[in-house]
Structure 1
């Protein structure tokens, strides 16, 4: 089994959320939250700010920790073909400056502010739904029920 620790930014402002369009090697696109792998010896708090800057071109500050999500992707559904566990740490983040731009030489092709009602119509990572649920409900446990994958929602 492979394992990944990641940090994700949930940035909601004026009934819209900041998402990034990710392009898979197959050319398929999926919308996701800004964020990604926590590097060796990196604090997840620092990682989420680095990832926002890399993927969107914008500076940000963390307002609060929202929660943690752990999911196992079965081998048959994982890109690598082997079972994978992703542990995601979700932060409420506020953009402080910069201009939206694609990630140079990266996997994200386009950051965009998406109206919240339009999110359900997007092909998106389940991380989007987890992050928005954490931001909307702010559970004391920092945990929400798993998001079913299927249809427009992908791993």
Structure 2
């Protein structure tokens, strides 16, 4: 996503690191996925699609509405971190089984 927004990082929520087995990976090749999750505050600007990129539409979705969306299950890791704010930056395992499993 490209954004003309100005953001302030308020805190690091946590880091999720996992190996995706070849049998579960979209590409068919084993790989490691590392997700770094931050809590941010928007300070200004305008949200816009990524020019010549993979994002066709950009929207901000209120957190209570995210649970009703069709989404990558990695979003659930970020939601768990945002909701519990664990001091360790770790939440119980959230099954993913590939980056775009819903």
Relative to the length of structure 2, the TM-score reads: 0.83
Partner Cα distance (2:10, 2:71) in 1? 24
> Aligned residue for 2:10?
63
Q: What is the aligned length?
A: 100
Partner of 1:91: 38
Greater helix share, 1 or 2?
Answer: 1
Partner of 2:71: 124
Displacement of 1:127 after TM fit?
2.2
Deviation string, structure 1 residues 64-111 (Cα, Å, up to 9, x no partner): 111111122221232321011111121111111111110111112222
1:132 is displaced (CA, Å) by 1.4
Say yes or no: does 1:154 pair with 2:94: no
1:1-155 mapped onto 2 (5 Å cutoff): 55-149=2-96, 154=101
Secondary structure (helix, strand or coil) at the match of 2:67 reads helix
Identify the structure with the greater strand proportion.
1
Residue segments in structure 2 that go unaligned for 5+ positions in a row:
none
CA contact 1:72–1:85 (8 Å) conserved in 2: yes
| Aligned-residue offset at 1:55 | 2.4
Q: Which runs of 4+ in 1 moved over 4 A?
A: none
Q: SS of the residue aligned with 1:108?
A: coil
